[in-house]
Structure 1
């Protein structure tokens, strides 16, 4: 329900939702620009071998503190935490730009920037996930998640191009400065966003540890919610980065031109954007639980087939189809998860899914390389297909397939 009790606006016509979408798009684009700039700076300073080490330094606190971030989002409200953490990201990134422009930069400084950014991300990610579920009436959650997928895929398509232009034309300091400007734009838009789902009437007075235990116990007690968390986690796990690396290795293994990689990744993003547009336009998604299971099954088939493609045309077409099916699965899974979660627990539940999809993803990077080196890239994609099949099987269980939006 809305705070005013009036009928909610359709999500794509709701100014509040659209401001959030614009803020989220700016924030995701800022992430893309920041990480590309950081990787470029480390490569220029110390060589490519150190890039993985710097990114790992940022990934560790993000994973370790993710559940704590969920507790903080629920205790203080997701909007407040998102704005505060986005503002903190502005400061650290503008600070990095100043260091690169005016100081003698050492590799240790970039390690410090990555570490602090990872800590802030542990607060930001659960809060931004919870915020998406508090923007409008629960009947609009499918459309909100469609808009989220559209924002993510467009940012991932456009962000690298913008970063490449700025880095080539003006250098690393300008790259960090651009990321800071995008985060600043996000903060400005978020200040105009309001929550529309009722907040808890009595704020928690328990300790943060007690709140964390309470959230995990709530998840354990609710079988349907637990299965949805597992489905979303497994369904998104392979698409937060490993598939991108797998595509790089596959194209190198086939000795195809580097341009094929750009077209393939662009096709994946375009497919996801199409999925976002379709889900946003649909008035209703009948039998959403069944649609989730079917989209995960299609994703499993496509990701397995991707590793067996023998021409670049097939690979590009398969990547576009995979982007569409995985986008549908992600949007439906997250919409159902937020539909079934009490607003009081949204931050903590969001932190669990963020941990599985973003916090643990860096652990798969070395696994990707080892599997590809020992058994071939096709084996890696087959492994991803098995993970998606497992998610589809859980989504097909009675408690999940009967879910409705």
Structure 2
């Protein structure tokens, strides 16, 4: 991203408030992950900690598409604010019940944070189009992705420093403060809803209405085969590669190089992601999809390093290169979705993207240890490398993938035009 583009983004008070509030929230989210482990594991055991993460992930997955519907119906800043309130309530539950008290209340707190995330994610991605002019949106996505990585790293480091000096519950109060900052910026931003309701229309309410609008989002995605195939690509790659990496990378790095090795690999991975996302903001091409697929190709290096014993510096370099590619891909991918779809359905589209990309991740995390025990790390990593290579370049056979655009694209498809007329 060039300096003039950066200055143009940060000169906008609306974008600056949006960006600073969400970066602060990201720091707090990562801080909570670290602190929650310190609160739960010593008193309740690692099994309970895993159960908490599973409940949070499951609730988010179940409600994500509904969160996209809500983001398209109402003010997206208001939806994010409500999501922050839900997550604040969940963190309050962690504060009181993480170490002791009824397990049901602790699980309920995890469910609230999962529900908040399901509301927040689609609204956050879709809201960017209302805050940033179209010519700066790719750069804004690049800054958003990169600063989230930096925020996550800062949150983890802050948690480590604070846990060394104060108790975990007091450290958790810092996360509550970050959500307050986010809430203030969202209330100030006050984005209008994309659609305005007409009381004379006879549209279904309740669950029927949510399902009908979710179906409209599915129809919009199905009209664009290249979007559908890239969402399927995300499902396959998360299941075979990115999900298992959460288990295999720390396991292999610690076994080969010692307990501190995973810290170095993690730092290199985060740094690569920041660099890659910033580079993604600078890509200007008539075939951004080809750039995006080439950017994913270095992810092949990590399974190779899992299968073959390499020096630690090479393992770190592989993680950095692959993460840089993912960062670049995400900027180009999210920017293309924003350009391709009308604003009225973007919340649902981003919800579907999140569901397709990460819906199978909990299953991947569960089955990876079993598969590795059965066939070994090297064969599993080899399978992951083959799947990555085939799924990365195979999608280019679908028209529109290389351009990340539909050639006869219109800003309003028939389904959305009909919805707009009704409203």
State the TM-score, normalized to the length of structure 1.
Answer: 0.87
CA distance in 1, matches of 2:237, 2:92: 35
Deviation at 1:400, TM superposition (A): 1.3
Say which of 215, 225, 228 aligns to 1:226: 228
CA distance in 2, matches of 1:346, 1:313: 41
* Cα pair distance change 1:324/1:237, threshold 3 Å: farther
* Cα pair distance change 1:58/1:128, threshold 3 Å: same
The structure, 1 or 2, with the larger RCO (C-alpha pairs under 8 Å, 6+ apart) is 1
Q: Determine helix, strand or coil for the equivalent of 1:133.
A: helix
CA distance in 1, matches of 2:55, 2:152: 23
* Cα pair distance change 1:126/1:26, threshold 3 Å: same
Match in the other structure for 2:338: 338
Q: Determine helix, strand or coil for the equivalent of 2:86.
A: helix
Cα RMSD between the aligned structures?
2.9
Match in the other structure for 2:377: 377
CA distance in 1, matches of 2:241, 2:23: 18
CA distance in 1, matches of 2:356, 2:8: 31
CA distance in 1, matches of 2:137, 2:236: 21
Which deviates the most, 322-331 or 34-43?
34-43
Is contact 1:142-1:335 (8 Å) kept? yes
Q: Determine helix, strand or coil for the equivalent of 1:86.
A: helix
Match in the other structure for 2:46: 48
* Greater Cα radius of gyration, structure 1 or 2: 2
Match in the other structure for 1:353: 353
CA distance in 1, matches of 2:110, 2:334: 28
Equivalences for residues 253-332 of structure 1 within 5 A: 253-254=255-256, 256-280=257-281, 282=282, 284-299=284-299, 301-307=300-306, 308-332=308-332
Which deviates the most, 382-391 or 230-239?
230-239
CA distance in 1, matches of 2:16, 2:241: 25
Is contact 2:68-2:351 (8 Å) kept? yes
CA distance in 1, matches of 2:174, 2:222: 43
Say which of 8, 16, 19 aligns to 2:17: 19
* Cα pair distance change 1:230/1:340, threshold 3 Å: farther
Deviation at 1:275, TM superposition (A): 1.7
Is contact 2:277-2:330 (8 Å) kept? no
Is contact 2:78-2:187 (8 Å) kept? no
Deviation at 1:286, TM superposition (A): 4.8
Deviation at 1:77, TM superposition (A): 3.0
Is contact 1:215-1:348 (8 Å) kept? yes
Match in the other structure for 2:81: 83
* Cα pair distance change 1:37/1:242, threshold 3 Å: farther
Is contact 1:62-1:359 (8 Å) kept? no
State the TM-score, normalized to the length of structure 2.
Answer: 0.83
* Cα pair distance change 1:374/1:233, threshold 3 Å: closer
Q: Determine helix, strand or coil for the equivalent of 1:97.
A: helix
Match in the other structure for 2:409: none
Deviation at 1:41, TM superposition (A): 1.7
* Cα pair distance change 1:169/1:115, threshold 3 Å: same
Whether 2:165 is the aligned partner of 1:164: answer: no
Aligned residues: 393
Q: Which runs of 5+ in 1 are unaligned?
A: 1-7
Which deviates the most, 236-245 or 76-85?
236-245
* Cα pair distance change 1:271/1:134, threshold 3 Å: same
Q: Determine helix, strand or coil for the equivalent of 1:18.
A: helix
Which deviates the most, 317-326 or 285-294?
285-294
Is contact 1:91-1:180 (8 Å) kept? no
CA distance in 2, matches of 1:348, 1:29: 26
* Cα pair distance change 1:318/1:231, threshold 3 Å: same
CA distance in 2, matches of 1:75, 1:32: 29
CA distance in 2, matches of 1:212, 1:231: 21
CA distance in 1, matches of 2:148, 2:116: 20
